[in-house]
Amino acid sequence: MQKLEQTFRWFGPKDEVTLAAIKQTGATGIVTALHDIPCGEIWPEEQIRERKQTIATAGLTWSVIESINIHESIKTGAADRDHWIEKYITSLKNAAACGLKTVCYNFMPVLDWTRTDLDFRLDNDASALRYDATALAAFELFILKRENVEAEFNETEKRAAENYFRKLSPEEKQTLQQTIMAGLPGTDEVFTPDEFKVHLKKYEHVDASGLRENLAYFLQAIIPAAEAVGIKMCIHPDDPPFPILGLPRVVCNAEDLEYIVNAAPSPSNGITFCTGSLGANKANDLPAMLKQFGPHIHFLHLRNVKREPNGSFYEAEHLDGDNDMVSVMEQVILEQQRRLAEGREDVSIPMRPDHGHKILDDKNYNTYPGYSVIGRLKGLAELRGLELGLRKYLISSTGQRGNSH
């Protein structure tokens, strides 16, 4: 039985979630990056090998790089973007020389994933991540105060944001600011509003169309090099999957993904299918998207969200949110069956449980937001059981069922 490769994200030697702890979860693969290397700079082969050896010594495999981050000059289409693209290609070649073959990345401007609350308490007192549309509007209108921001909200939204902001203490306002302005995962970088406005200035002439063109330019430059060394690139969807903070988003739905895979057709130009990011938009039909883009999916982030009518959402239990994880997993297994029938080598798709709750002893550790060990272990166990049960069901069911997909 060809199962998914079970992986766990690790943020390196400073991560309080140790490799020894990860090994006890049952995961065999590690998803990590050289977070100490500045964005855009070349990953030295020696450092890649050293990190890979550290992981191997713990009895695990470095399965996926997440992420080799993309310099902002590439995203904005600046005059020096080719310089940074060449550095990116060198990092890919160095990674391939060390036997690493899957690279997850994103094309979100300035910030990575964005939340407004990193300690949202559920009924059972577990701690989850939350995106509150009203809280973000309050930040935009009364803290960031970017130019012409009022025009982006209707009167109801502005009143709600003002009422929300008035109730915040000075400490809560500071926490909100720091939560939204956090930089890249694995770093301690937090922008000030003034620093963020400097970055916004670089995007004043880059709308969604321009950002999409810059992404295509990047892909057309790097994908031939990636294919030559056997690397599979897999873009992560935007999180949340809609424009925020005056910045465009271009990896949000099926139309965006179709544009991306067609921008540089190649087995090396693929997708990280994140059910949480895509699932935050109720218009996205995740099982249908898995069926449509299955051959291009090189990596899976499996998590769930509970959506609210105004665009807010929080991270739910892995099997108990608004996303139909049973149908998602079924489509993943059917895609593996198709690959097996086609004789493809990449049948065991790496999968990791994403953004676990803080539960039990997790609260005693200072882990990166969303990356507790027990909460993710719980998610991995649930996903592992779901996968095993569905595989046995699909094997025992009639051939007509498999053909119906």
Peptide bond into 240 cis (omega under 30): yes
Q: What is the mean pLDDT of residues 109-138?
A: 95
How far are the Cα atoms of 19, 314, 353, 356 from residue 29, in angstroms, in the given order?
10, 27, 12, 17
Ramachandran region of residue 233, left (φ > 0), alpha (ψ -120 to 50) or beta? beta
Ordered domains of the chain (ranges, CATH): 5-113+199-403 (3.20.20.150), 117-190 (no CATH)
- Asked if the model's pLDDT at residue 404 lies above 70, the reply is no
- Catalytic residue numbers? 236, 274, 301, 354-355, 371
In the numeric block, which tokens belong to residue 339? Answer: 């690959």
Residue 93: what are its φ and ψ, rounded to 5°?
A: -65, -40
Mean per-residue pLDDT over the chain, rounded = 94
Residue 92: what are its φ and ψ, rounded to 5°?
A: -65, -45
**Is the pTM above the cut of 0.85?**
yes
How many residues can be counted in the chain?
405
The larger pLDDT score, comparing residue 2 to residue 292, is at 292
Query: Hey, which residues does 301 pair with through a beta bridge?
Result: 274, 352
Long-range CB contacts for residues 56-59, cutoff 8 Å, separation at least 24: 58/19, 58/20, 58/22, 58/23, 59/23
pLDDT per residue as tens digits for the range 77-103? 999 999 999 999 999 999 999 999 999
